[in-house]
């Protein structure tokens, strides 16, 4: 089993869960990881070099998925446009580049940990998820947990992850803080903005995004 792993802070709770899940199940001997930024993981999933991953919403529409995603109820802090500069896509992104176009927001797109750092430094930014929510009063779904096979395995992951409150060990917070140069306090605050539950409102937001892209 090959899982595409995105090492952004927004998936830190899920990675903590998966470490425990594989350790306590028969998957521990067969789960392998391929790391990369969202755009690269998308490519690996679409070419079947990984069996499952959080896939950018713009590429996930026609693929099997469970009710887990990377979702912003309102603002997200890590998907930004830097205004008043030349238009520039983020090569690590897929969905966010399209979202900026849908919202007709100009500037340089930043996603992930570098975007969060930009926000925390108080630099000019437009939060794309906040803009989406202001216009539509709906969450924005950036990615979905998609899979090619073994549906029951990923449904089990969905059930177990959804019912647990994940506490991130201090040593992992320390590692994440050193890697990103973002304080542990700011990491935990940031994670409070992230939801993983693809509920009915999130599904409505996702459906509206797909319709908006087709226009």
pTM over 0.85: yes
Helices vs. strands in the chain: H and E counts, helices first: 10, 9
The predicted pLDDT at position 179 comes to: 95
The predicted pLDDT at position 7 comes to: 87
The predicted pLDDT at position 26 comes to: 62
Structure tokens at 154: 């990923």
Which residues share a beta bridge with 82? 108
The predicted pLDDT at position 33 comes to: 83
Helix, strand, or coil here: 15?
A: helix
Helix or strand (DSSP H, E) at 172: helix 170-180
CA-based end-to-end distance of the chain: 38
**Domains and their CATH numbers in the chain:** 2-214 (3.40.190.10)
- Per the CB < 8 A criterion, the answer to whether 92 and 133 are in contact is no
Cα distance between residue 73 and residue 80, in whole Å: 15
The predicted pLDDT at position 1 comes to: 79
The predicted pLDDT at position 28 comes to: 52
Cα distance between residue 204 and residue 124, in whole Å: 30
Cα distance between residue 182 and residue 176, in whole Å: 8
CA dihedral for 148, 152, 155, 156, sign (positive or negative): negative
Vertex 135 angle, CA 132 and 137, to 5°: 80
- Per the CB < 8 A criterion, the answer to whether 79 and 127 are in contact is yes
Task: Give the strand order in the sheet containing 52-56.
Answer: 32-35, 2-5, 52-56, 140-147, 65-72, 194-197
Q: What is the mean pLDDT of each run of 10 residues along the chain (215 residues)?
A: 91 93 66 86 94 96 96 97 94 94 96 97 98 98 96 94 92 96 97 97 97 86
């Amino acid at each position: 089993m090959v899982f595409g792993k995105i090492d952004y802070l927004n998936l830190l709770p899920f990675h903590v869960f998966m470490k425990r899940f594989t350790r306590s199940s028969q998957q521990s001997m067969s789960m392998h990881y391929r790391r990369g930024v969202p755009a690269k993981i998308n490519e690996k999933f679409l070419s079947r070099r990984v069996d499952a991953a959080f896939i950018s919403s713009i590429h996930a529409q026609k693929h099997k998925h469970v009710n887990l995603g990377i979702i912003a109820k309102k603002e997200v802090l890590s998907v930004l446009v830097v205004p008043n500069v030349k238009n520039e896509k983020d090569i690590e992104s897929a969905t966010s580049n399209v979202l900026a176009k849908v919202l007709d927001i100009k500037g340089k797109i930043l996603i992930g940990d570098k975007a969060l750092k930009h926000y925390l430094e108080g630099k000019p930014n437009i939060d794309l998820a906040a803009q989406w929510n202001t216009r539509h009063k709906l969450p924005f779904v950036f990615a979905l947990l998609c899979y090619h096979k073994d549906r029951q395995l990923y449904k089990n992951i969905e059930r177990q992850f959804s019912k647990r409150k994940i506490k991130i060990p201090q040593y992992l917070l320390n590692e994440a803080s050193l890697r990103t140069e973002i304080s542990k306090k700011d990491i935990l605050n940031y994670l409070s903005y992230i939801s993983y539950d693809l509920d009915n409102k999130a599904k409505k937001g996702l459906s509206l995004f797909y319709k908006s892209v087709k226009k």
